[in-house]
Amino acid sequence: MRRAPEKLYRLIQPVVTGMGYELVGMEFSAGHGNGLLRIYIDSPDGADIDDCQRVSYQVSGLLDVEDPIPGQYNLEVSSPGMDRPLFEKEHFERFAGCQVKLQTQVSYHGRRKFKGLLQGVEGEQVVIEQDGETVKLPLTEVEKARLVPEFD
């Protein structure tokens, strides 16, 4: 799954925010025959299945009218969950101090997958502490990132 194209963000974000939700992010996979558009929503009180259904109904209607995605695809609307995906620079700043798993598009320090304590963002680089070492990765090269759920 990849981050959805910017044109979909421009189309869908006003609907989601107009309904009182945060658009956490979107992922899109064209697939062979059946694609998938996954939208993550949240609110200060969280997002439950009824919230997801309401947003799905509105976004589905919009997509039917605007038809921005060629071919067949499925629409999923979900809360971000405990392993919340991080899409934007602001997400990496907001969740500094949390454990994170991320994958880069290309290899850095001989690897593409990293797991450690998110330190935040310096300029345009995500900073994590992994195995006692500070690792800085270009934000533009982060393919996917998720919080690691912590259970006390």
Inter-axis angle of helices 6-18 and 49-66, to 10 degrees?
130
Please, what are the domains in the chain?
2-78 (3.30.300.70), 89-147 (2.30.30.180)
Please count the other Cβ atoms lying within 10 Å of the Cβ belonging to residue 46: 10
Phi and psi at 30, nearest 5°, equal: -70, -40
For residues 19-29, give the mean pLDDT.
Answer: 95
- Give the E-state strand segments of 91-150 in sequence order: 99-108, 111-122, 125-130, 133-138, 142-147
Reported confidence tier of residue 1, pLDDT bands at 50, 70, 90: low
d(CA 6, CA 9): 5
pLDDT at 3: 82
**Measured distance between the N- and C-terminal CA atoms of the chain, rounded to whole angstroms:** 31
For the stretch 118-136, pLDDT in tens is 999 999 999 999 999 999 9
Tokens, residue 65:
């009218």
What is the value of pTM for the model shown? 0.88
d(CA 86, CA 151): 19
For the stretch 30-70, pLDDT in tens is 877 788 999 999 999 999 999 999 999 999 999 999 999 88
Query: In this model, does residue 101 exceed pLDDT 90?
Result: yes
